[in-house]
Amino acid sequence: MPEQLRPPERVRKHFPAVHETFMAMRGRIAEAGPLDAKTRELLLIAAMTVGRQSGGIKTHTRLALQHGATPEEIRQAIVVTVGASAPIGYVGEALGWADEVIEAG
């Protein structure tokens, strides 16, 4: 059976310098302005909804919860994209992916 790695770990395995640069960039972005971690995670959830990124939505839902976001805030971050940048089908999928994390507690 092939090694089960999450996408970032797979990049790190094959291209450690790329992974390190990416992580450093994400850290600099977090330090670049006044948004707190919870708000940044909610924004990333919205962005991942538009990009239809199931893994990203699950990862950032977990992180948002760790930073104090409520399930309702996470779901609103997803639904605000409907009609503006994401079709309703993407939003429905994203709500399902977030709920998998939320309901797993």
Q: Which two tokens stand for residue 14?
A: 């094959």
Eight-class DSSP state of 33 = S
pLDDT average, residue stretch 31-57: 97
The share of the chain scoring above pLDDT 70, in percent, equals 97
What are 3-7's contacts with CB under 8 Å, separation 24+?
6/55, 7/55
Residue with tokens 């990862």: 59
State the average pLDDT over residues 13-31.
95
- Length of the chain counted residue by residue: 105
Asked if 6 and 14 count as a contact pair (C-beta separation under 8 A), the reply is no
Taking only the tens place, the pLDDT of each residue in 86-97 is 999 999 999 999
CA–CA gap between residue 58 and residue 63 (Å, rounded): 9
Q: What is the pLDDT of residue 4?
A: 80
